Structure 1
Amino acid sequence: MLGSMRLLLDAFWRAAAYCLHPRVIGLSMLPLGLMVLLAVGLGYFYWDAAVQWVLAWIETASWLSRLWAWLKDLGFGDVTGVVAPLLVVLLVTPVLVVVVLLIVALFMMPALVSLVTERRFAHLERKQGGSLLASLAWSLGSTLLAGIALVVSMPLWLVPPLVLILPPLIWGWLTYRVMAFDALAEHASREERVELFRRHRGGLLLIGVVTGYMGAAPSLVWASGVVFLAAFYILIPIAIWIYTLVFAFSSLWFTHFCLAALERLRAESPSGDVVAPSAVVADDAGAARTALPTATPSADAAPPALPSNQAPAP
């Protein structure tokens, strides 16, 4: 347990330092451009229709009519015109977050794993335990399960404490499933990946939950863009970029943690498949010496037998 926590903290600081690398900053800007185009396109074609649909729903919902009447009696007037756009944004945000996660997993994750490998784990053998098709299927399956959990838990978001707990937990579980798999796909075999998931499930889930809460923080920027409409087109791209950077940090954290855990697993493996970088020369020399026959007999060895026609010297 103590060793796992050391790996977790060491991977955290390394991931934070790697976020300042120019390659990581550049990669974080690519999904931002795509997400901006996606958000602007959806908003241009479907914003008014979505707001009208939500507005009609909240006005006809009988269980909300008492709330609107109570707020109107308090002097707030008709608040449905403000609540409808806010609900649209809150409903669309999880979809955009999932899209960002998939973009990071499918495009940024291999590049970040390659960066970490080049700089720290160049000696690790690549056993290709997970193909691109397997990674895609794993990501889509995990995303589907997370989406179902998200939809089922949405009514509980109306309870103030749960809205701060449930979404980060779901995002954390999804991040843990997707990024831990992709971090190990190229280097670990299937058996090694299963063993690492079994040994470090708690640590991996903790990383996922922490990054899930970090991913929920940009929602404040997103909500500010809705409240302050004049800054909408500035704050929303900033929020999307923060989402992307958080996911990039998450992938770096998982990569450092998983590859370090894989290195430790192979170092303690009795099968001899592991090659430690500092022991390569010593192991090769030792193997060569072992292959040579010894020329010096032991003291307890029996003397060689003489031919039958020769007598021993007096």
Structure 2
Amino acid sequence: MSQLFDSFWRAVAYCVHPRVIALSFLPLILMVLLSFGLGYFFWDAAVAGVASWLDAFDLLQAFLGWLERLGLGSLRTVFAPLLVLVMATPVIVLLCLLLVAMFMTPFMVDLVGQRRFPSLERKKGGTWVASVLWSLGSTLLAVVALVLSMPLWLVPPLVLILPPLIWGWLTYRVFAFDALAAHASPDERKSIVRQHRGSLLLMGVLCGYLGAAPSLLWASGAMFIALAPLLIPVAIWIYTLVFAFASLWFAHFALAQLQRLRAHAAPNARTSAPVVEALESPSLDSSHHLPPSQT
């Protein structure tokens, strides 16, 4: 647990590094352009489609009618846009995570390696292509889990539990691999993930809940839906910073475990070396062991 807290505070300190802040704007710019581009072409159609879909539910219409009688009739006009934003949130989260993993994580792992572990050998056990394929495969599994769990989101407690757990699992899968890709060999990476799976998964889940925090902005969107063009970029930048922090946290923790693993392996290698040397050394002259009569 002390190692988790140590790497946590180191990651927080690295988040205010000027290069990390500057680099966080690249995923932000890409995501904002993509979000507003899709919104420009599909927002009206998506809201109209969701509104017509909601009209088919008599129970929901009765609930909205009850709100109107309470003087909250304005909620009917923002309910469909708000639901579109909620449904788009998982997509925004997944894309932010992938962009951070592809464009920010290699730089931040290199930054942590140079500043804190300069003597740690880079065995390059994972290539950039392998990292991208691993991230895409893990994201596909997370998307399937999100889609299958969506009906359970209608249960109020589960909507606060299931999405962060899925995002946390995905965060653990992606950043645990990327943090060790440059420095560890495949065997070292598998050994560290196997030995510290619980800690790594806990880190991912905590980051998943941090990633759910921007969704609270949609509570403001319910009352001030006109502010959505401002709230969406803010939410995307928060997502980007959360996943940048997660990447730094995994980098500090994983590289520290890699250094400890190699430090423990080095004494074993040194103690076994004399034995191997003795076994492989040439035998002494046999004449030294012959009886005097045979010399």
* TM-score, normalised relative to structure 1: 0.82
- In structure 2, the partner of 1:260 is 256
Report the Cα distance in structure 1 between the residues aligned to 2:107 and 2:74, rounded to whole angstroms: 50
Give the structure with the larger helix fraction: 2
Report the Cα distance in structure 2 between the residues aligned to 1:130 and 1:236, rounded to whole angstroms: 34
- In structure 2, the partner of 1:189 is 185
Report the Cα distance in structure 1 between the residues aligned to 2:17 and 2:128, rounded to whole angstroms: 26
4+ aligned runs moved over 6 Å, structure 1: 271-274
Q: Which runs of 5+ in 2 are unaligned?
A: 278-295
Report the Cα distance in structure 2 between the residues aligned to 1:78 and 1:235, rounded to whole angstroms: 20
Would the aligned equivalents of 1:225 and 1:236 in 2 still touch at CA under 8 Å? no
Report the Cα distance in structure 1 between the residues aligned to 2:139 and 2:114, rounded to whole angstroms: 30
Q: Could you tell me which amino acid in structure 2 is paired with residue 95 of structure 1?
A: V
> Comparing both chains, which one has the higher relative contact order based on Cα–Cα distances under 8 Å and sequence gaps of 6 or more?
2
Deviation of 1:147 after TM superposition, in Å, equals 0.5
Report the Cα distance in structure 2 between the residues aligned to 1:128 and 1:272, rounded to whole angstroms: 23
Report the Cα distance in structure 2 between the residues aligned to 1:201 and 1:262, rounded to whole angstroms: 14
- In structure 2, the partner of 1:299 is none
- In structure 1, the partner of 2:160 is 164
* TM-score, normalised relative to structure 2: 0.87
- Structure 2 residue 80 is the aligned partner of structure 1 residue 84: yes
Q: Could you tell me which amino acid in structure 2 is paired with residue 71 of structure 1?
A: L
Deviation of 1:29 after TM superposition, in Å, equals 1.4
Indicate how the Cα distance of structure 1 residues 78 and 242 shifts in structure 2: closer, same or farther if over 3 A, else same: closer
Indicate how the Cα distance of structure 1 residues 226 and 66 shifts in structure 2: closer, same or farther if over 3 A, else same: closer
Q: CA RMSD in A?
A: 2.5
- In structure 1, the partner of 2:230 is 234
Cα deviation code 1:92-120 (max 9, x no counterpart)? 11101100000000110001011111101
- Structure 2 residue 38 is the aligned partner of structure 1 residue 42: yes
Report the Cα distance in structure 2 between the residues aligned to 1:78 and 1:7, rounded to whole angstroms: 50
Equivalent residue runs for 1:1-314 within 5 Å: 5-60=1-56, 64-73=57-66, 75=69, 76-77=72-73, 80-269=76-265
Q: Could you tell me which amino acid in structure 2 is paired with residue 20 of structure 1?
A: V
Report the Cα distance in structure 2 between the residues aligned to 1:148 and 1:233, rounded to whole angstroms: 29
Deviation of 1:59 after TM superposition, in Å, equals 1.3
How many pairs does the alignment contain?
274
- In structure 2, the partner of 1:307 is none
Q: Which runs of 5+ in 1 are unaligned?
A: 275-286, 291-314
Report the Cα distance in structure 1 between the residues aligned to 2:132 and 2:63, rounded to whole angstroms: 49
Deviation of 1:169 after TM superposition, in Å, equals 0.4
Report the Cα distance in structure 2 between the residues aligned to 1:272 and 1:33, rounded to whole angstroms: 50
Q: Could you tell me which amino acid in structure 2 is paired with residue 252 of structure 1?
A: L
Identity %: 64
Deviation of 1:7 after TM superposition, in Å, equals 1.5
